[in-house]
């Protein structure tokens, strides 16, 4: 049955049986386990917006495959308008959840594989594109959540996949059959893995011919035999696990995206779900296009988070009686300026989008890398300003246990009171929210999600078209061009 609402999504997760471990114990139901439930609720917001009148147009699209209404998170971008609506949707979701809602990686994987599969078929005579369209139609019709699985462990990073002492450090084909292939290996840091329905496995880097067993793309249900997931720890998860609602800071939604390690222990993928099988020359294109789409997203979702953080410190300043200070207004203004600058990068790379051979639209890759590079700086600066304005009390607040204590609760309330007409509990709650949004995990994800900062700098240099820039300068200076240059 097609998933239409948040409740449908919750029920769909309870109907499958993936193998998931956290802190050494198996999770039986991700919708209620304290470690995973906040992330499930964040992802559920993508379904809630699609079924709301206010955001329906942003959160849905018309499938070019079927003509039916589908989630924008399963849609192949058909024009610049699609790219822009995606950006607007991501910012709203960031504002609504204050965290990662986890469906972007699957969306970006879908768009990258779609366009590359078309090109593989044209050159190699394969039928990957038709297979992919059939799989995608099912995903769209059922409105399933897809985790895009790209990052391999990599082992010894000075060595290629085939030269690793342990060949499983990159996901690889270990057996080819007439009806499919068997894979082994792992994917790390997979956002939203434990509460997805399908895994779209992609290569983590450009491969050469000797690494063709690692040049694979395929899709598989998350509860397929041979798949084990280990859910990662996050900053403050002990607070969350004990359900200390105020101390968590953001009790309804998770810290980031709920990342997990996915292990494939001789997992079989049938032919109809294989979209690349040894055509190594196309692996670079998949990684390149996926990365550009994903980096473009960060200027939208992270702007939504920055909006929340800006609002939080503004309210805290009111609670503390410092809102009218010129230095406070100046720092809040800078937070707004950085947020909107970042958002403009995401809009710009969408507006400059162009069609691929398949008809699917790609963002401008240079501007997408600039966008993500700005995230690695601006989000940290907004967090720094937030901590600056909030003051040191957000790091030394007594716990909720103390606030509720018969012995010392009255002391906590007395000495953490600010402006008289704002309850002390509200000041503590907003302080904990700021702590949760600046305390580590979110910042790491902003820095390293979609590739480390150096990855974007490499792409920015490659796409800088320095030859053209030199010719512009030489033309103005009256320097003739030479063939060897």
160-177 pLDDT, tens digit each: 999 999 999 999 999 999
The pLDDT assigned to 233 comes to: 82
**pLDDT of amino acid 444:** 44
The beta strands (E) that lie in 314-396 are given as 354-355, 361-362
User: Per residue in 13-41, pLDDT tens?
Assistant: 999 999 999 999 999 999 999 999 999 99
Neighbours of 3 (CB within 10 A): 21
Q: What is the rounded CA–CA span in Å between residue 206 and residue 279?
A: 11
CA distance linking residue 186 with residue 260, whole number of Å: 10
The pLDDT tens digits for 419-440 are 999 999 999 999 888 888 887 4
How many Cβ atoms sit within 10 Å of the Cβ of residue 221? 15
CATH number of 286-471: 1.20.140.10
DSSP string covering 104-115: HHHHHHHHHHHH
Lowest mean pLDDT among 157-171, 220-234, 236-250, 282-296: 236-250
The CA distance from 256 to 97, in Å, is 10
Would you say the C-alpha torsion 415, 314, 300, 340 has a positive or negative sign? Answer: negative
Domain ranges of the chain: 286-471
The pTM of this model reads 0.89
Residue 128 clears pLDDT 90, i.e. is over it: yes
- Nearest residue to 429 (alpha-carbon basis) of 297, 312, 272: 312
191 is in an annotated binding site: yes
With vertex at residue 24, the alpha carbon angle to CA 12 and CA 218, rounded to the nearest 5 degrees, is 45
Active site positions, annotated: 100, 104, 191, 259, 294, 298, 301, 445
pLDDT at 442 over 60: no
Length of the chain equals: 485
């Amino acid at each position: 049955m097609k998933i239409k609402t948040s409740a449908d999504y919750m029920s769909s997760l309870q109907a499958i049986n993936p193998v998931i471990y956290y802190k050494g114990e198996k999770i039986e139901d991700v919708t209620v386990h304290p470690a995973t439930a906040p992330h499930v609720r964040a992802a559920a917001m993508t379904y809630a917006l699609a079924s709301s009148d206010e955001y329906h147009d942003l959160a849905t699209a018309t499938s070019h495959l079927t003509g039916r209404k589908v989630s924008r998170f399963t849609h192949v971008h058909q024009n610049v308008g699609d790219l822009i609506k995606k950006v607007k949707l991501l910012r709203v979701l960031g504002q609504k959840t204050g965290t990662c809602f986890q469906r972007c990686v699957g969306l970006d994987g879908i768009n990258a594989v779609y366009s590359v599969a078309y090109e593989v078929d044209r050159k190699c005579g394969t039928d990957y594109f038709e297979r992919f369209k059939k799989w995608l139609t099912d995903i769209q019709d059922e409105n399933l959540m897809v985790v895009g699985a790209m990052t391999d462990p990599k082992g010894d990073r000075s060595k290629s996949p085939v030269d690793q002492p342990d060949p499983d450090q990159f996901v690889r084909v270990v057996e080819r059959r007439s009806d499919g292939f068997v894979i082994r290996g792992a994917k790390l840091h997979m956002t939203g893995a434990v509460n997805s329905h399908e895994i779209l496995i992609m290569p983590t880097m450009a491969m050469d011919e000797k690494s063709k067993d690692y040049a694979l793309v395929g899709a598989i249900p998350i509860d397929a035999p041979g798949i084990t997931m280990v859910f990662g720890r996050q900053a403050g998860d002990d607070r969350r696990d004990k359900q200390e609602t105020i101390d968590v800071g953001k009790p309804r939604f998770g810290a980031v995206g709920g990342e997990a390690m996915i292990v494939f222990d001789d997992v079989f993928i049938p032919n109809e779900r294989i979209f690349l099988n040894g055509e190594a020359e196309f692996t670079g294109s998949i990684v390149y296009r996926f990365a550009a789409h994903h980096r473009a997203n960060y200027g939208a979702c992270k702007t939504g988070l920055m909006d929340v953080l800006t609002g939080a410190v503004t309210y805290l300043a009111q609670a503390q009686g410092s809102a009218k200070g010129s230095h406070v207004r100046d720092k809040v203004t800078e937070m707004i300026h950085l947020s909107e600058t970042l958002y403009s990068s995401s809009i710009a790379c969408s507006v400059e989008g162009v069609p691929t051979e398949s008809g699917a639209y790609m963002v401008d890759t240079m501007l997408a890398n600039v966008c993500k590079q700005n995230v690695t700086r601006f989000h940290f600066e907004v967090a720094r300003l937030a901590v600056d304005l909030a003051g040191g009390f957000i790091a030394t607040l007594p716990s909720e246990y103390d606030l509720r204590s018969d012995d010392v609760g009255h002391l906590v309330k007395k000495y953490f009171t600010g402006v008289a007409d704002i309850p002390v509990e509200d000041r503590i709650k907003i302080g904990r929210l700021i702590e949760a949004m600046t305390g580590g995990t979110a910042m790491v994800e902003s820095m390293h999600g979609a590739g480390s900062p150096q990855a974007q700098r490499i792409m920015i240099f490659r796409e800088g078209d320095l030859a053209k820039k030199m010719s512009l300068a030489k033309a103005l200076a009256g320097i003739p061009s030479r063939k060897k240059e």
